[in-house]
Amino acid sequence: MGKLENRVAFVTGGASGLGKAQAVRFAEEGAKVVVADRNEQGAMEVAGIITAEGGAAKGVAVDVTDADSVAAAVAAALDAFGRIDILSNTAGLFDQFKPTLDTDPATWDAVVAVNLTAVYTVTNAVLPHMIAAGRGVVLNIASGAGLRGGGGGAAYTSTKHAVVGYTRQLSADYGNQGIRINAIAPGLIDTPMVAHFSHDEDTLANLRRQPAGRLGRPSDVANAAVFLVSDDADFIHAVTLPVDGGLVETL
């Protein structure tokens, strides 16, 4: 018996990296999964991986920065599986460590739109259905850059700090209506988002000095996500769990 039997999960950013890993792991634990991404082909491929393993999944094209697109994706999810029990806000955009003076307004707006405003938009689209059902779990993928400076650029670090705050406030406002909201703060994880520097010798040398001594794997985050969205974490609300090999606690 999986930890997520009879649950329906909606995963944004599900076509790649941490979203893909969560979608696949959630399905392994018995969840029916809606793989939502602006990369429609990627979303369909991940849904195909899940169904090929005997799971239930649906790929959905969505631009999380567009409220109409989000509403349509949520409607498609409800149409396919009847409800949404688990929302994982995972879609994100990196800003390549740009300091504020190197951040043009278009970059700032794009990063805020995906990493922060979209978390609000998708949550607001899903939460009423959870409240009506009397239960639900929201997991926001923040970042170590949401807990400390130095893990991203000005826009990325600002949005990830805001996601940590949003997680706390959602919990304060909706926790006692049967909704559990938490976040994960991944460290450096081996995904396409960071592939352009994560295997550099300098980066790997830095990682070797840290407690876990290695680059994170998408499965490291997906395993923590399964725990946080499952009933095993029933008494855990409003936390941002670092999954970073010990990085932020040993800086």
Ligand X SMILES: NC(=O)c1ccc[n+]([C@@H]2O[C@H](COP(=O)([O-])OP(=O)(O)OC[C@H]3O[C@@H](n4cnc5c(N)ncnc54)[C@H](O)[C@@H]3O)[C@@H](O)[C@H]2O)c1
Q: Which residues are catalytic?
A: 156
CB of 176 to ligand X, least distance (A): 28
CB of 63 to ligand X, least distance (A): 5
Regarding 111 and contact with ligand X (CB under 6 A), the answer is: no
Interface pattern 133-172 for ligand X (x via CB under 6 A): --------x-x-----------------------------
Interface with ligand X (CB under 6 A), residue from 59, 136, 153, 186: 186
Q: Any idea what DSSP says for residue 200?
A: S
- Site size toward ligand X (CB under 6 A) is 29
CA dist., res. 210 & res. 29, Å (int):
31
Element housing 188 (H / E): none
Interface with ligand X (CB under 6 A), residue from 8, 13, 74, 77: 13
Regarding 123 and contact with ligand X (CB under 6 A), the answer is: no
Site for ligand X in 187-206 (CB under 6 A): 188-189, 191-194
Sign of CA dihedral 68, 181, 195, 47: negative
Interface with ligand X (CB under 6 A), residue from 26, 58, 74, 92: 92
| Spatial contact of 75 and 59, defined as CB atoms under 8 Å apart | no
Regarding 98 and contact with ligand X (CB under 6 A), the answer is: no
CA dist., res. 97 & res. 198, Å (int):
13
Query: CB neighbours (10 Å) of residue 215?
Result: 18
Report the candidate in 12, 21, 10 with the shortest Cα–Cα distance to residue 191.
21
Regarding 16 and contact with ligand X (CB under 6 A), the answer is: yes
CA dist., res. 95 & res. 181, Å (int):
26
Beta bridge partners of 182: 139
Window contacting ligand X (CB under 6 A); options: 24-32, 38-46, 125-133, 234-242: 38-46
Tokens of 156: 């990325």
Q: Which residues bind ligand X (CB under 6 A)?
A: 12-13, 15-19, 37-39, 42, 62-65, 90-93, 114, 141, 143, 186, 188-189, 191-194
